Amino acid sequence: MYNVLREITASPGWNLNWNHTYVALKGNQKIVGYYKQHEDPYIEFKKPIRFETARRKFETDKVRENTWNQNTK
pLDDT per residue over 40-58, tens digit each?
Answer: 889 999 999 999 988 888 9
Q: Is 28 left (phi over 0), alpha (psi -120 to 50) or beta?
A: left
Percent of the chain topping pLDDT 90: 45
| Segments of the chain scoring below 70 in pLDDT | 11-17, 73
pLDDT at 16: 59
Contacts (Cβ under 8 Å, ≥6 apart) of 28: 3, 5, 51, 53
